Amino acid sequence: MKFPMKTLATGLIALASAACMTLLSLPVMAQTGPAPAQLLPAQSELNFTSRQMGVPVDGRFKHFEASLNFDPRKPEVGRIGLSIDLASVALGGPEVEAELAKAAWFDSKKQAQASFQSSAIKTVGPGRFDVAGRLTIKGQTRDIVVPITLAQAGTVSTASGSFVIKRLEFKIGEGEWSDISVVANEVQVKFKLAFKGLAPL
């Protein structure tokens, strides 16, 4: 039995169209995770405290970006990322900040960004989470766990917390500055990140 060429062509076009529609629908079906929340830079802070000769010295980073694909009710499927512009450090004035840009410290002209990327998120209490991930500074990567407390007011969600790093593990303060009796090895990092568009607790 022969089919008219026009009928055969119409059938092939319909089959191809159905296949294309199926393929186009696959990415949508795969996107089952939460939609990304939007960082509110004006309401966010990234600070740190080091000790020089036993005296606490406070600093901050003025420019950073954060990505948050996270549903507080399903933290295990969430992803958190942070990128920090090391050249935006504010600490003690222009002379100190110029020193920090040098190779012995942040080497920010060659390695401008520090980053954190989560690998696992676990609920530890109401509105409290432990975020495991990898922190990279000056090409040195370490596994860390960051405790986060999440608070929500209206449409704004604020993730805050603190953790401690050892600067020498990231080659921050090399050479003569590696003497921890002058500049302490431990540095406390404190953050407050405000987001819009996060699912409710």
**pLDDT, tens digit, for every residue of 147-161?**
999 999 999 999 999
**pLDDT, tens digit, for every residue of 83-119?**
999 999 999 899 999 999 999 999 999 999 999 999 9
pLDDT at 33: 54
Three-state DSSP state, 149: strand
pLDDT at 198: 93
pLDDT at 17: 42
Tell me the pLDDT band of 1, cut-offs 50, 70 and 90: very low
Q: Specify the length of the chain in residues.
A: 201
> How many other C-beta atoms lie within 10 A of the C-beta of residue 25?
10
Arithmetic mean of pLDDT, 49-74: 95
Read off the pTM.
0.81
Residues 178, 182, 183, 186, Cα dihedral to 10°: 90
Q: Which helix (H) or strand (E) holds 19?
A: helix 5-30
pLDDT at 9: 40
**pLDDT, tens digit, for every residue of 7-60?**
434 443 343 444 434 333 333 333 455 578 999 999 999 999 999 999 999 999
User: 140 pairs with which residues across the strands?
Assistant: 137
**Alpha helix stretches (DSSP H) within 49-186:** 94-100
**pLDDT, tens digit, for every residue of 143-195?**
999 999 999 999 999 999 999 999 999 999 999 999 999 999 999 999 999 99
